[in-house]
Amino acid sequence: MRKENLKITFVKVDSLKVATFNPRKWDDAKKAKLRESIERFGLVDPLIVNSNPARKNVLIGGHFRLLIARELGYKDVPVVYLDIPDIEKEKELNLRLNKNVGEWDIELLKEFDLSALLEVGFDDEDLSQIWDDSLETEDDNFQEEKELAEIKETDIQLGDLFELGSHRLLCADAHDSANIQKLMGGEKTSMIYTDPIYNIGVSYDKGIGGKQSYGGKVDDNKSDTEYREFLKSGMQSAMSVVNKNFHYFCYCDQKYVGVIQDLYRKLGIENKRVVLWIKNGQNPTPGVAFSKCYEPCVYGTVGSPYLSKSLQNLNEVMNKEIGTGNRLIDDILDELDIWLVKRLAGNEYEHSTSKPPTLHEKAIRRCTKPGDIILDLYGGSGSTLIAAEMLKRRAYLTEIEPRFCQLIINRYEKLTGQKAKLISNTKTND
- Span 374-407, pLDDT tens digits: 999 999 999 999 999 999 999 999 999 999 999 9
Q: Which residues lie closer than 8 Å to 430 by C-beta, 6 or more apart? A: none
* Residue at 126 is within a domain: no
User: Is residue 110 assigned to a domain?
Assistant: no
The answer to whether residue 122 is domain-embedded is: no
Is the sign of the CA dihedral 145, 149, 150, 153 positive or negative?
Answer: positive
Q: Which residues lie across from 50 on neighbouring strands?
A: 82
- 224 CB-side CA count, 13 A: 6
Residue 205 lies inside a defined structural domain of this protein: yes
| CATH code of the domain in which 234 resides | 3.40.50.150
Please give the full DSSP string across 71-84, using - where no structure is assigned.
HTT-SEEEEEEE--
Rounded to whole angstroms, what are the CA distances from 103 to 25, 106, 109, 121, 299? Answer: 20, 9, 11, 16, 39
pLDDT tens digits, residue range 166-225?
999 999 999 999 999 999 999 999 999 999 999 887 655 554 444 455 456 676 788 999
| Under 8 Å between Cβ of 300 and 272 | yes
Strands 189-194, 373-376: pairing is parallel
Query: Do 226 and 167 share a domain, yes or no?
Result: yes
Q: What residue numbers bound the domain in which 308 lies?
A: 133-424
Q: How far is CA 383 from CA 47, 303, 362, 380, in A?
A: 47, 28, 13, 8
| pLDDT top residue among 350 and 246 | 246
Higher pLDDT, 415 or 114: 415
Identity of the highest mean pLDDT range in 108-112, 141-145, 309-313, 328-332: 141-145
- On whether both 178 and 49 belong to a single domain, the answer is no
* Residue 350, in any domain of the structure: yes
Backbone φ and ψ of 268, nearest 5°: 85, 15
Residue 109, in any domain of the structure: no
Alpha-carbon dihedral 20, 24, 30, 36, rounded to 10 degrees = -50
| Whether 316 and 415 share a structural domain | yes
Same domain, 95 and 166: no
Q: What is the mean pLDDT of the chain?
A: 83
Query: Could you tell me the CATH number of the domain that includes residue 92?
Result: 3.90.1530.10
Segment 303-307 mean pLDDT: 95
Q: What average pLDDT does this structure show over 123-141? A: 75
Q: Are residues 42 and 146 in the same domain?
A: no
Mean pLDDT of 63-78: 93
Residue 37 lies in a domain: yes
Both 244 and 379 in one domain: the answer is yes
Question: Is the same domain home to 197 and 298?
Answer: yes
What are the φ and ψ backbone dihedral angles of 361, each rounded to 5 degrees?
A: -55, -35
**Same domain, yes or no, for 7 and 156?**
no
Among 102, 124, 159, give the residue marking a domain's end.
Answer: 102
Total number of residues shown for the chain: 430
Q: Are residues 98 and 138 in the same domain?
A: no
Look at residue 49 in the predicted model and tell me its pLDDT.
Answer: 95
From the list 65, 38, 388, 380, the residue with the least C-alpha distance to 195 is 380
Judge if 308 and 235 occupy the same domain.
Answer: yes
Identify whether 48 is part of a domain: yes
Per-residue pLDDT at 96 exceeds 80: no
Radius of gyration of the chain (CA): 26
- pLDDT band at residue 320, thresholds of 50, 70 and 90? very low
Residue in 145, 154, 150 with CA at minimum distance from that of residue 210 = 145
Number of separate domains in the chain: 2
Same domain, 138 and 55: no
The pLDDT of 341-367, averaged and rounded, is 71
Tell me the C-alpha distance between 392 and 385, whole Å: 10
| 297 and 246 co-located in one domain | yes
Neighbours of 189 (CB within 10 A): 23
Q: How far apart are CA 72 and CA 74, in angstroms?
A: 6
Domain endpoint, select from 80, 102, 124: 102
Q: At which of 51, 79, 102 does a domain end?
A: 102
